[in-house]
Structure 1
Amino acid sequence: MSRQMKQTNDEEQMVTLYLEFRKLCQSYQKGHRAAYVREYRHYWHNVLKDKFTQSYEEVLKSLKWPFSSPPEASPPPKEAMAKFTSLTKNLFLIEEPEDFMTDVKVKDESAQVEKPPCLPVRILLRPLKKRFQFHFTGSRQTARIDRPEWFLTQTLTWIKHHQGFVRTQVQPVADKIELTHVKAVDEFNSGLIALSAERLHTVLALYHTQAAKGDIVDVDAAFAHAVDETLGFQKELLEITGKDVNSVLSILTKAETFVRWLSVEKKYALAKMDESLGCSQWSEGVGAGAGAATGSALWIPRAADWFVTLLRTIEDRYVLLPQPGHRLQFLELQLELVEEWRVRLTQLLGAALDTLHVDSFLSADASSHPLTAVINAAHHTRTVLLQWAHSLHYLQLHYYRRQFQNFTQQQHHEEEEESSSSDSSDSDEYSETEGDGVRKPRKDSNAEALSLMEVEVRAKNLALSEMSRQNSIAPDLNQYDVTTPIVNLAVAEPLTGEDEAEEAGVFAEAPALLARLRDAGLAALAEHILLEFKAGLKDYKRQKWHGLLIVEEMALSVSTSLCRPLAALCTRLSVAAQRLAPTLTARLRAHLADIVDSYIFEEIVLESWFNTGGTMQFTHDVKRNLVPAFAPPNKVASQVNQLPRLLEACRLLNLDYDDARRLRAVLTKQPAAAAESLAHYHINNIQHPQALQILNQRTDLSDSASPSSVMELF
């Protein structure tokens, strides 16, 4: 058979003889004869491989391989393609035997080394490897280490130009001879990507040495540029090949490189944060200025929009990483940045409070006050984080972190059990003797333990289940009146305890801390608005409500002493409403109404006597002036209940004489029935003693039992 292979010049016959020879050699498995047969088989394999490789390379030259453009532009000659197909088939058939492949040693056993490409693909890659080494290694201009995009772009170009040819001309040959393990396109692309990965590893290692020599001024900038180009390469590679190949990303996730990546990300993120807050336009709305789109969110500060974009950019970079552990480390970086952002906003809040003066929020100028900008920034950041917390990406990280914590706790618990049982000679294999005297083997504690891969899969399934649950219970918002104002500020307070933690998801307490900052800003703004209002009510509080004349209802107007402070309050509230987010405006309006309601009720209603004229004037002030002042623009004042105690006080003051006397008698003599009696008149927010005091301070109900004669008030 060996003599026939030497004498024949027919390639197909030579391959047929070699296959028969290889099959014959398989019968020799032991002894010196097996070693001799193996070496002889390798000899003939190398002879055929060299012969076919030389012919293959000649055919490739005639096909003008490597291509400078996709082969569809200029179809190759049919004769050359026929020869190419024949040689490809022969190379597949004489592929190295499995025992020969076992000679390949892996230096790093922990590294996952892919199987080498098939023989035809290796030959196809040779000229491309030579070109790559020629252009992108050594001292050539194209080998500059600060321009990794050059070799990455060239790799993508080669994949675009050649993978179609490999798919249509090489893979069908393997399929025809039933080589199911051959994936020619994947092997070809992996070979080219491996070149880029190896060069990228070298480039990243050279940055420090070149910086020490002074060849690179800013090492971090060069490193960040290389990371961006690598991630861009990975995205485009996924679009071109349709498969997620992580060999390039594995370079970025090596321990030393990954730690440096995190450090550089944090450095530039903090610099960008300080730059955005240091800009004079940081407090302006993103939709402000010329060319603003209709319906733009004018209340979102530019700095907050920049910060959210910064977090999104970081997410877009690390979302490509295959290992959830690496993504979790980037998530921790995002949480650190959110905390840094909150600290800076807190500092800006303190500075903004120092800039408040008497004329603040009295004029609707175009510029936004720093106080409202800080409130809006905290609110916008919190809203975005809560929205992200329910996205698939962050849900997967949330559940993975929880599953991983359970996994590590289980591992730690098992290690403690093993160490505690190591002193007993029998406890390793047998449990304690049971009632029948038979000792049974102990269950393997690792049988039910999850592997890290199973942890990741379970986290993905939990995230998908949560997304499905949210979609299934999502309400139809059209059936609700989302413009209804919040009557009480406490209604809009952040969730507490487990509900808040579950709502924030992977962001933990960050949204709650931002909500606390936002509410502190709103409280300070409300205090500033009410400061002059309370001071201006001194004359209103001293008004003699017991001595006012009865005036026709049509002739009533707002009290003179209330007009000025109420006008200033309405102006400041209107200006603040133009600068705050709509939901924050509702919160501020409700908060102000609650304070005004309590203040006027305690300082005026409970401290004053009312005759019929005073009751009419006070009722007019409340219903026609105070209530409309705090009513939302899209609501009729009579439909809202922003001042519940004042409205109920007016109801008590306006009760008919007989009803008022009966109610006072019940409140005085039957305290147990007080709540029911007050509820009958729709009095739900005023306590029993306060209601009795208001009735007693009606001049028409005064009698000798009153603390002092009503006539002494005149």
Structure 2
Amino acid sequence: MAAPMDTKTSSETFTIDFVNKQFGSDLKKLQLVVNVYQTHKEKQANLTKQLSLASSEAPSELEQGIKNAEKARSDVRKLRDRNDRLYHEIQDQTRDLSTVVKETSALSAEISELEQLTKYLQCVKKVDTTSSQIEVLLQSDNLLKSVDKFAELSALYTNLGTSKCHNMVKYVKDTTIYWYKNLKNKIASEFEETLKQMKWPLVAMSIKAPPVQNTAEAKTKMELLFKQLLKLQLPSSLQGEVEQLPSCVASMPGIRIPILPLSLMVKPLRRRFKYHFFGNKQTNDLAKPEWYFTQTISWIRDHLVFLEQRVQPLLLEAGTQTNVKTEFMVAMTTLVMEKMLTDLPELMNDDHQFSHLVDEALLFDREMRMSYAYPTCLPGALHVLSQDTYFRKWLHIEHKFATEKLDGMMSSYTAWDSQYKHIADVDEQKVPECGDSFMTLLLTITDRYKSLPEPALQLEFLDLQLELLEDFRVRLNQVKNNTHNILSGQYCAILNTAHFVADVLREWSELVFFLQLQYFKMVNTSSTKQSLSEDDIPFGYTTLFDEMISLYSHLENDMLSTLVSQVAMDVRSRGKPYKDDRWISLPHQKEMTLGLSTSACEMLLVLKDHLLDVSELVSKPVFTHFWEKMAANLNQYIFEEVILRNKFNQGGAGQLQFDMQRNMFPLFGEYTSKPESYFKEVKEACFLLNLNVGSAILLKETLYEALHTLPREPDRISQAKAALSDVGVFKLTLDQSELVLSLRTHMAT
């Protein structure tokens, strides 16, 4: 009951609101009621019409949708039936065809097998046919075509390389090797005979050979046979089974078998080498390795022109990039390496013979690399010595012999004499015999290991050099400590040696060889800790010899300071009368002619003698350091002991200035154009002591105001410094300048 009541109330409320909104309180608007009624009646009619249309269209669309769904269901049913029917048909067809498929598969496999068999037989036939053709061609002496046919056989083996028909591969391989050997023997015999006609190898003969007949014909035949041998190449996978290097050098990296024609050309030389240096001949002498090294170099020298003029053009014509000169040197070097590896085990117990072999091997390798441009990337005699066993022995011998030589140098009665003391231009460094010999020894060691193929091995020799440098430094210290006379020739010779060694090591540190070793050492050390890029390595901040340079420089500076102290002590002891002179009561210079103070004569004379003696004993660079330190020491002595501890009248100030400017400074004028610049405190103190009275008073007042007026003002300090600069005082501080001015007794006019 509540609901209808509420609805009615709502309708009434809506009606009241509608009437009020349409007509308001104006009664005249009631005449518009008809219009309002007509308008709403039309709206009602439109809505009724739309509803009628919607109700009539909806059933037709719904019916169409139902029809479509029914059709789709019918199609699905038909497709399912068709699928079932096809499935059963396929099953029936499969059962019917299974027998046929089995029969067909068997036939297909049989056909495939027959095809493989056919190919197999074709391959066999190809091999047999080619083999027969080669045989026929050989019988007719047609070597050129037989080599071409062999190339076909070789290509066939290469194509069969991945085949699983192992028997076939073996058959082709054996056939290829068989004909290779036959053809090689056939052509090689003719080739060797032709080479003999051309007097190959070009070796010295005790009996003069008869002149060659038909030289042009022999040359043409040699070229033809060379080209045939060049074509007669086995596949790379077979070369190792036919042509083998000697077992002792086979493991050497970079060693290779020469091309076939060159191998045949080397054969007589190899035979001669074996005969002379491996047999029972007197030339096979362990104590004379230079014999086979020299012989090898001679053969290389004698044959290079022939190889470059006659053989290299044939290789270029064949389109190969082989360098016959390099290949020939590799073959000769292989002989040398084989000989070294045979002899070295017997030499391990004889240090002198082992060392002699090393010396000769170094000379041989250097001549090969420098005189004949043997590539550094290819193995040589030093690769044999780089093997661990022999390298350790070499390193041990170098250390032993170097130590023995060092003992001899230090014990020589001329150890501390200069070798060039009678040649002034050469003896500027004044290096004693032991110092010069020691650095020569180190340089020799560097030259010996410089050509080693591995930087790691070079670094081990470098460690040996550093060890020898430390040993030599310790010995220098021992001799120095046993030298009681500091001014003796031996003490100065040790000082010269320390300077010379440090100076040479600085030069070595900048050499490309040692810079490369330093880089390798840094990279190798870094790689053991962590992976670093080149940009992370502070290359150039350190060198290999930094520690040794520091130690020798310390020894030099220590000895130089001791020498300066000794001389300064002697000079100061002679300067006591000069220090105690009566500077306050000396007569004015206008009253007398100035001359050197009597009390300074002995001091300056001793100083002059010491400067002369030391200049004759030490090298020029060391003496430069000496007199500079000596000047600094005397400057301090005169300023602190003579000037600051005395009072000066006008005569005393003038005498001091005369003694310094006309006597002390000129003693050093022989070594520098401006000796007074090394006595700045003394020079400036003399200026202040001899400054005219008026200027001195004004300057003293300026200094007093700047130093003693509190608070200290920067402007006053600056004015005081400017005042000192105006009178030529730059080194002395404000306090020192005031103190010097206070030493004047002649401040009143």
Gaps of 5+ in 2: 1-128
CA distance in 1, matches of 2:281, 2:492: 57
Q: Give matches, 1:123-134, under 5 Å.
A: 123-134=264-275
Residue number in structure 1 paired with 2:516 = 396
CA contact (8 A) 2:693 2:748 kept: no
For the residue of structure 2 that corresponds to 1:58, the secondary structure is helix
Partner of residue 189 from structure 1, selected from 317, 323, 329:
329
- 1:309 aligns to 2:440 (yes or no): yes
Are positions 1:611 and 2:611 aligned together?
Answer: no
Q: How does 1:555-704 map to 2 (within 5 A)?
A: 555-633=593-671, 635=673, 637=675, 640-671=676-707, 672=712, 673=716, 676=721, 677-701=723-747
Matched, 1:260 2:393: yes
Residue 223, structure 1, aligned to residue 330, structure 2: no
Instruction: Kindly name which structure, 1 or 2, has the bigger radius of gyration based on alpha carbons.
Output: 2
Tell me what 1:79 maps to: 217
Tell me, in whole angstroms, the C-alpha distance in 1 between the residues paired with 2:724 and 2:731.
10
Task: Label 1:321 to 1:391 Cα distance change in 2 as closer, same or farther (>3 A).
Answer: same
- Whether the 8 Å CA contact 1:649–1:694 is kept in 2: the answer is yes
Q: Are the counterparts in 2 of residues 118 and 184 from structure 1 also a CA contact under 8 Å? A: no
Q: 1:166 aligns with which of 307, 311, 316?
A: 307
State yes or no: 1:33 paired with 2:191: no
- 1:82 to partner: Cα distance: 2.0
Offset of residue 103 of structure 1: 4.0
Q: State the distance in 2 between where 1:275 and 1:8 align.
A: 77
Structure 1 residue 571: deviation in Å? 0.9
Deviation per CA, 1:5-29: give whole Å up to 9, x if none: 3342222233234334545666665
In structure 2, what is the Cα distance between the partners aligned to 1:155 and 1:553? 94
Q: 1:286, 1:298 within 8 Å by CA — same for their partners in 2?
A: no
| Distance (Å, rounded) in 1 between the aligned partners of 2:373 and 2:428 | 38
Equivalent residue letter for 1:611: N
Contact 2:197 2:212 in 1 (8 A): no
Quote the residue 1:378 is aligned against: 498
1:46-74: per-residue Cα shift (whole Å, max 9, x none)? 22112112222222332333221599x98
User: Is 2:150 the counterpart of 1:18?
Assistant: yes
Q: TM-score, normalised by structure 2?
A: 0.74
Structure 1 CA distance, aligned partners of 2:328 and 2:261?
10
DSSP-derived class of the 2:141 partner: coil
- Give 1:251's aligned amino acid: V
CA contact (8 A) 2:575 2:602 kept: no
How many Å separate the matches in 2 of 1:150 and 1:179? 35
- Secondary structure of the corresponding residue to residue 641 of structure 1: helix
Matched with 1:274 is 407
SS at match of 2:283: helix
Cα distance change on mapping 1:74 and 1:222 into 2, 3 Å: farther
TM-score of the aligned structures, taking structure 1 as reference length:
0.77
The alpha-carbon distance between structure 1 residues 683 and 376, as it changes in their structure 2 partners (threshold 3 A), is: same
Match of 2:253 among 108, 112, 116: 112
SS of the aligned residue for 1:555 comes to coil
Given the alignment, which residue of 219, 231, 242 partners 2:373? 242
Question: How far off its partner does 1:669 sit?
Answer: 3.6
Q: Secondary structure at the match of 2:150?
A: helix
Match of 1:493 in 2: none
Alignment size in residue pairs: 595
> Cα distance 1:666–1:25, how it changes in 2: closer, same or farther (>3 A)?
closer
Q: Which has the higher contact order (CA 8 A, sep 6+)?
A: 1
- Residue number among 561, 565, 580 corresponding to 1:523 in the alignment: 561
Amino acid at match of 1:206: E
The answer to whether the 8 A contact 1:52-1:91 is kept is yes
SS of equivalent residue, structure 2 residue 525: helix
Cα distance, 1:598–1:37 mapped onto 2, change above 3 Å: closer
Q: Structure 1 584/140 Cα, relative in aligned 2: closer, same or farther at 3 Å? A: same
Partner of 2:112: none
Answer with 534-543 or 53-62: which moved more: 53-62
* Alignment partner, residue 485 of structure 2: 355
| Alignment match, 1:206 | 346
CA distance in 2, matches of 1:74, 1:529: 85
Counterparts of 1:597 and 1:462, CA distance in 2 = 43
- Secondary structure of the residue aligned to 2:352 is helix
SS at match of 1:509: helix
Q: Which amino acid aligns with 1:253?
A: S
Alpha-carbon distance in structure 1 between the residues aligned to 2:379 and 2:132? 48
Shift of 1:35: 2.9
Secondary structure of the residue aligned to 2:498 is: helix
Match of 1:331 in 2: 462
Q: 2 CA distance for matches of 1:654 and 1:582?
A: 37
What is the distance in 2 between the residues matched to 1:691 and 1:24? 105
- The equivalent of 2:71 in structure 1 is none
Tell me which of 122, 131, 141 is aligned to 2:282: 141
SS of 2:530's equivalent? Answer: helix
Shift of 1:624: 1.1
SS at the partner of 1:686? coil
Give 1:442-461 correspondences, 5 Å limit: none
1:225, CA displacement in angstroms?
1.3
Deviations 1:201-255 (A, max 9, x none): 22221113xx4xxxxxxx2222221111101001111234312343311111111
Offset at 1:294?
4.4
Q: Is the 1:338–1:510 contact (alpha carbons within 8 Å) kept by the matching residues of 2?
A: yes
Counterpart for residue 527 of structure 2: 407
Q: CA deviation at 1:299?
A: 2.0
1:151 Cα offset (Å):
0.9
Aligned residue identity for 1:172: P
Distance verdict in 2 for CA 1:572–1:21, change over 3 Å: closer
- Structure 2 CA distance for aligned equivalents of residues 507 and 620 of structure 1: 49
Aligned pair partner of 2:416 in 261, 268, 283: 283
The residue identity in structure 2 corresponding to 1:697 is L
Task: State which drifts further: 665-674 or 248-257.
Answer: 665-674
Q: Please tell me whether the aligned partners of residues 590 and 630 of structure 1 are also in contact (alpha carbons under 8 angstroms).
A: no
Corresponding residue of 2:196? 61
CA distance in 1: counterparts of 2:204 and 2:456, whole angstroms: 41
1:651: Cα distance to partner? Answer: 1.2
Q: Decide whether the 8 Å contact of 2:382 with 2:452 is kept in 1.
A: yes
Which residue is equivalent to 2:17?
none
Residue of structure 2 aligned with 1:98, choices 236, 239, 245? 236
Q: Once the 2 structures are TM-superposed, how far is the Cα of residue 400 of structure 1 from its aligned partner?
A: 2.0
Q: Whole-Å Cα distance in 2 between the matches of residues 294 and 236 of structure 1?
A: 34
**Aligned CA distance change for structure 1 residues 636 and 224 (closer, same or farther; 3 Å):** same
Matched, 1:343 2:468: no
The corresponding residue for 1:414 is none
Cα shift at 1:632: 3.6
Shift of 1:577: 1.4
